[in-house]
Amino acid sequence: MTHSKRFISFTIIAASIAALGGCAKSVEVKTDFPAPLVEPYSLVAGVRYPADLTDFTHVEDPELQAEWTIKLGAANLEMFRTLFNGMFIKTIELDPNSEEFYDPEIDFIIEPKLEEVEFSVPQQSGTDQFVVWLRYNLKLLQPDGQLIGDWRVTGYGQQDKGDMGMGSENAMKEAAITALRDAAANIVVGFPKAPGVEKYILPDNDLPAEDTTESDETEKNTI
């Protein structure tokens, strides 16, 4: 076979694979998020939502598959607004383009960022499942802007394409929504132990009560 014939054969094979993979897929994730069922902390949080969070779009072309575009910006904003409004007695949104502000009410600042998105489709995993994995970094700052700590939180979601006969785009969307809700749940549960929170953010009345049983018994024995 000549070089030109081999080239033509490879071109036909590549075109066939592309046809099997289908056209490009695009998913815009939008949904309502339930308020967290927790007693809010007695804290006023200043929240800064950077543009790379609120406009976040992930584009990936899995090997031998169609290109996927997943728009998460609107869902990020909706999720964090609902979450923080339920976790704290008050939130104050700060200018994302400026680190200068003055508000005596603010107890701390939180700035979420979506650092990484990974996903898999059935053709990759050999199953009927669409899987989405998210990693956020929540930067925690003192009111004067000094860094308290970087808090990394993950979320995982999966959706079976066969459920309710949904198409691939809807299955990917549902997997992403599940991953967002999983991340929100991890934030609620993990906040008290996040880097620097107990030391710099939580007021004394929000800390768990200390068990004084042992010290009380010791005091009794020494009287």
Q: Confirm whether 5 is domain-assigned.
A: no
Q: Is 157 exposed, middle or buried (0-12, 13-18, 19+ CB in 10 A)?
A: buried
Q: Is 110 helix (H, G, I), strand (E, B) or coil?
A: strand
Buried b vs exposed e over 138-149: b needs ≥16 C-beta within 10 Å? bbbbebeeeebb
CA gap 95, 74 in Å, rounded: 17
Q: Which of 97, 83, 101 is nearest to 46 (CA)?
A: 101
The pTM assigned to this predicted structure is 0.79
Q: Confirm whether 172 is domain-assigned.
A: yes
Q: What is the pLDDT of residue 23?
A: 74
DSSP state of 127: S
Q: What is the pLDDT along the chain (223 residues), one digit of tens a residue?
A: 544 444 334 333 334 344 444 578 899 999 999 999 999 999 999 999 999 999 999 998 766 577 899 999 999 999 999 999 999 999 999 988 876 666 789 999 999 999 999 999 887 777 789 999 999 999 999 998 899 999 999 999 999 876 655 688 999 999 999 999 999 999 999 999 999 999 999 976 554 445 444 444 443 343 3
Q: Confirm whether 176 is domain-assigned.
A: yes
Q: Which residues contact 160 (CB under 8 A, 6 or more apart)?
A: 128, 129, 130, 171
Q: Confirm whether 198 is domain-assigned.
A: yes
Q: How many independent structural domains does the chain possess? A: 1
Range of the domain at 72: 42-203
CA gap 44, 41 in Å, rounded: 9
Q: Confirm whether 7 is domain-assigned.
A: no
Q: Confirm whether 98 is domain-assigned.
A: yes
CATH number of the domain that residue 72 is part of: 3.30.160.150
Q: Which residues contact 153 (CB under 8 A, 6 or more apart)?
A: 135, 136, 137, 138, 183, 186, 187, 190
Q: Confirm whether 12 is domain-assigned.
A: no
